[in-house]
């Protein structure tokens, strides 16, 4: 059994052309870690444009990219990321965990 993460753009929520699935994770934990890093990367990309943490939260849920997988509670994770900026590149390096890296 493999695990997957569904990703997409909040700005285009509900548009199936704006969602994609990253499949092939060998464990649920690996899928959750990918999703966590993906979300954190999106928050960090928006951080410089936000006037406050509340503004950043609003911006993320309006224009950010989401990642959904069983076992990840998105809202608490988003709140944690907003309150605790990433300090190491690995915290946002979701591509390194992709089970299907580009050739």
Query: What is the predicted pLDDT for the residue at 70?
Result: 97
Alpha carbon 19 to chain centroid, angstroms? 13
d(CA 93, CA 86): 11
Query: What is the predicted pLDDT for the residue at 15?
Result: 74
Query: What is the predicted pLDDT for the residue at 12?
Result: 77
Question: Model's pTM, two decimal places?
Answer: 0.93
The SS3 assignment for 18 reads: helix
Token reading at 82: 């907003």
20-42 pLDDT per residue, tens: 999 999 999 999 999 999 999 99
The answer to whether the CB of 20 falls within 8 A of the CB of 66 is no
Q: Which residues pair with 8 in a beta bridge?
A: 19, 66
Backbone angles phi, psi at 65, to 5 degrees: -105, 135
d(CA 77, CA 65): 14
49-93 pLDDT per residue, tens: 999 999 999 999 999 999 999 999 999 999 999 999 999 999 999
CB burial class (10 A; 0-12, 13-18, 19+) of residue 28? middle
């Amino acid at each position: 059994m493999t695990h997957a993460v569904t990703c997409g753009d909040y700005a285009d929520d509900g548009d199936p052309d704006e969602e994609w699935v990253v499949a092939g994770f060998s464990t649920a934990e690996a899928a959750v870690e990918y999703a966590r890093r993906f979300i954190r990367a999106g928050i960090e990309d928006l951080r410089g444009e936000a006037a406050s943490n509340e503004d950043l939260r609003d911006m993320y849920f309006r224009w950010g990219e989401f990642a959904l997988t069983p076992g990840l509670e998105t809202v608490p994770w988003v709140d944690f990321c907003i309150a605790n900026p990433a300090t190491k590149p690995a915290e946002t390096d979701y591509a390194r965990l992709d089970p299907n890296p580009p050739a």
